[in-house]
Amino acid sequence: MKPSHRGVRIGSAWILAIAFFWLARPDYLTLGLGAAVVLVGLLVRGWAAGVLQKDRELAVSGPYAFTRNPLYLGTFLIGVGAVVAGGRLWLGLGFIAWFAWIYGSTMARESGELAARFGESYARYRESVPVLLPRLTPFRPAGDHGAADTGFSPARYLRNREYEALLGAVAGMALLLLKAAGWPP
């Protein structure tokens, strides 16, 4: 049985995280700088999750007006922040390679699924909004009936289980803090 793309993504992330924590050499300065970047990533992901109505409507408002993949942009920022916090910037090369491999194919697959589901509405959106790095001004759909213009909802944030990213980031930063403090000896 072939593993799912999500299973590969999660399994490989665990392997990467374990290797990263083993190799990390955090100090309080790198932890502070990295935590700031992680916080920005969590805010981007949280905003996106609070707007997204999965499998219901094409999200084009909030962070989706700036990038087609704000959840993945947030993940990238969290990863970059973790690398900075870990104090070994060369580990960033491994993270970037992993991110490009896993999320590049994920974004391409999801783009195809959205094109099939939302047709011309998604085609116009895809032409105007970058895949990952945000545009400077928000996208404004011109009377698209397949596009959602929804605000942030705490209920959507919870329904999309975004708190899991928050808990994971807090746990990861706590482990790095313990390592910076000299534990394990």
Domains of the chain, by residue range, sit at 5-178
Q: Which residue has the higher pLDDT, 183 or 172?
A: 172
Give the torsion through C-alpha atoms of 135, 137, 138, 144, to 10 deg.
-90
Report the pLDDT value the prediction gives residue 1, as an integer from 0 to 100.
Answer: 47
Place of tokens 């942030």: 152
Q: What is the pLDDT of residues 87-131, one digit of tens each?
A: 999 999 999 999 999 999 999 999 999 999 999 999 999 999 999
Nearest to 165 by CA among 70, 91, 65, 94: 70
Q: Which fold has domain 5-178?
A: Four Helix Bundle (Hemerythrin (Met), subunit A) (1.20.120)
Q: List the structure tokens of 117.
A: 């589901």
Enumerate the β-bridge partners of residue 45.
none
pLDDT at 154: 95
Rg of the chain's alpha carbons, rounded to an integer? 18
What tokens does 57 get?
A: 């409507």
pLDDT in tens, 146-166: 555 578 999 999 999 999 999
pTM, to two decimals: 0.91
